[in-house]
Amino acid sequence: MSPISSREIKEQARALGFDPVGIVPATVLTAEGARLREWLERNLHGSMDYLARHAEMRIDPDQLMPGTRSVVCVALNYYHPEKHSDDPEIGRISRYAWGDDYHDVLRDKLKELLEWIRERAPEVEGRACVDSAPIMDKAWAVRAGLGWLGKHTNVITRQYGSWVFLGELLLSIELEYDNQIEPDHCGKCTACLEACPTGAIIAPYQLDATRCISYGTIELRAETLPEPIGSNLQNWVFGCDICQDVCPWSRFSKPTEEDRFTPRPGITAPRLDELSELTQEEFSSRFRRSAIKRTKVTGLRRNARAARRRPAPPSE
């Protein structure tokens, strides 16, 4: 018998701000792993070579943490309702990067949950995972019934649409498991495919990262942005929210209650001319503890300069 119940873990996870929460057995992600390998073989991941590393670890949590028996899957709402500006002199930054770095926020909460569990069951081993760990966050979220995989390849929840961060807590004990999978509610809708200005969603549930504005403005280290990204930026300088903004399920979005996701001053409407001339010192100071650090000052300057050479973005 488990020294602690799934109900108790879920209640504590919700007390920490997570919702929804699901718990599933730590089995191998066979079907999901096969789809990942196919996607990698088609080179749809672009220069993100880290996705190809530790492939077996990504599909088998026991290889990530030997002795894993259960996976606690959590989601955390990050939505803020401010609109992106359509001013041609203003840049657009994805909502997920308006506040503190979500890796830090989720990791802190998951570690707090693990400490709470170990206070009651000291023998339990665990590991907190956010997307920087080699684990398939979206696959686990779907297995745990948190939501379904949308056609834009983001997980969509009934409660908040797709405006959620995902995380997992690997545990060395067996628990009572959820077996309710959320059905796919995308139906015949193709709003995300039609709205993507670069055609990155090449088919329902299939993303070509090399055409994605988020990939280009965050992950790509090239001196210039390739086509079709470069000519279709629509003033995005870090990430892109288009496919999420047009999703009908976004009508259920609610403002987050997490203080650390509060938008920083100037983050929702940064001036392109200022971003294009940022110094390293200014970048480090302005984006301390921010996910925007990922693109580095050279990437942000590149993106802002490219955006200034393009037509103004359409109104939301």
User: Residues 60, 62, 131, 184: which is the catalytic one?
Assistant: 131
Mean pLDDT per 10-residue section of the chain, whose length is 316 residues: 90 97 98 96 95 90 97 98 95 98 98 98 97 94 98 97 98 97 98 98 98 98 96 97 98 96 96 97 96 97 92 63
Residue 64 is predicted with a pLDDT of 95
Which residue type sits at 169? L
pTM: 0.95
Residue 309 is predicted with a pLDDT of 82
- The CA distance from 149 to 184, in Å, is 7
Residue 310 is predicted with a pLDDT of 66
Q: Does 137 participate in catalysis according to the annotation?
A: no
